[in-house]
């Protein structure tokens, strides 16, 4: 039997960086896609307003190219599960994909909600619909995550729940049902929470949390990131790669 040998460094270069990022509404997770290297978006939400060039210049300055920001991002609209499956086939076979380095799904939560609606229409028992949705979304997450040679960024809404023992509020990625949300972080080496803070003078700033605490789910298996990073995926990816 012929074995194929490689190294962890080579695997990172070949497979790309796979990220799950989540936040509450308005924290800027959609804008995060504009900071990724050469992005293409799969969008299920009507949230493209934040990606308008005028808004990006307000956040990052007039010279977007120098800031590593992409405006007018090519986007595939996802309305059904079939759209998502067709997009996967195109993304993994089209020659046009050579120009893109990052695939951004905005948001995986919204896509799952649409999968659930379709499952409910077909299932006699609503409990079966939730099970079918969970199975399908985990399958799709793994397929997109494993696209070779591309960075893949999954965006998700944020969900809160109460720990029954400690009474502490816990936060993590939101998905329909009780199964999919808790499973999703296990599929990724990088899980980020997008947050918003305020300076003493009232200035609002945004940040990426890369390490878990008592309330928020987050992790960085690369070991290269600080617990709090500037919300720019291009910079974060370079840091992970040691560039």
Q: Residue 59, class by beta-carbon neighbours within 10 Å (0-12 exposed, 13-18 middle, 19+ buried)?
A: middle
pLDDT higher than 90, residue 49: no
Q: What is the pLDDT of residue 9?
A: 59
104 close to 155: Cβ distance less than 8 angstroms: yes
Alpha helices in 52-106 (DSSP H): 53-60, 81-91
CA distances from 102 to 4, 46, 54, 83, 197 (A): 27, 20, 23, 19, 27
41: enclosing H helix or E strand: strand 39-43
Q: How far apart are CA 161 and CA 217, in angstroms?
A: 12
pLDDT higher than 70, residue 4: no
pLDDT higher than 90, residue 81: no
43 close to 87: Cβ distance less than 8 angstroms: no
The CATH class given to the 8-241 domain equals: alpha beta
Give the bridge partners for 151, in sequence order: 102
Q: Could you report the per-residue pLDDT of 92-130, keeping only the tens digit for each?
A: 999 999 999 999 999 889 888 877 877 777 777 777 777
Q: In percent, how much of the chain has pLDDT > 90?
A: 58
Rounded mean pLDDT, 73-92: 91
Q: Considering only 58-67, 105-114, 210-219, 225-234, which range has the smallest mean pLDDT?
A: 105-114
Q: How far apart are CA 49 and CA 25, in angstroms?
A: 14
Supply the DSSP symbol for 194.
E
């Amino acid at each position: 039997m012929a074995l194929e040998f490689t190294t962890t460094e080579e695997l990172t270069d070949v497979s790309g960086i796979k990220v799950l990022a989540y936040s509450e509404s308005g924290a800027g997770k959609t804008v995060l896609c504009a900071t990724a290297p050469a992005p293409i978006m799969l969008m299920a939400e009507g949230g493209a307003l934040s990606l308008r060039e005028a808004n990006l210049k307000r956040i990052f300055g007039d010279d977007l190219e120098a800031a590593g920001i992409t405006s007018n991002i090519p986007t595939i609209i996802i309305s059904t599960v079939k759209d998502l499956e067709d997009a996967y086939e195109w993304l993994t076979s089209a020659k046009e994909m050579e120009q893109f380095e990052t695939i951004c799904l905005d948001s995986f939560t919204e896509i799952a909600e649409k999968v659930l609606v379709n499952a409910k229409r077909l299932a006699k028992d609503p409990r079966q619909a939730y099970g079918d949705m969970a199975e399908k979304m985990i399958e799709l997450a793994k397929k997109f995550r494993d696209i070779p040679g591309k960075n893949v960024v999954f965006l998700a809404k944020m969900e809160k729940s109460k720990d029954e023992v400690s009474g502490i509020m816990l936060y993590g990625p939101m998905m329909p049902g009780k199964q999919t949300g808790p499973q999703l972080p296990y599929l990724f080496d990088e899980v980020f929470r997008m947050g918003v803070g305020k300076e003493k003078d009232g200035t609002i700033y945004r940040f990426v949390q890369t390490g878990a605490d008592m309330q928020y789910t987050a992790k960085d298996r690369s070991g290269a990131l600080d617990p709090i990073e500037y919300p720019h995926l291009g910079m974060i990816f370079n840091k992970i790669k040691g560039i």
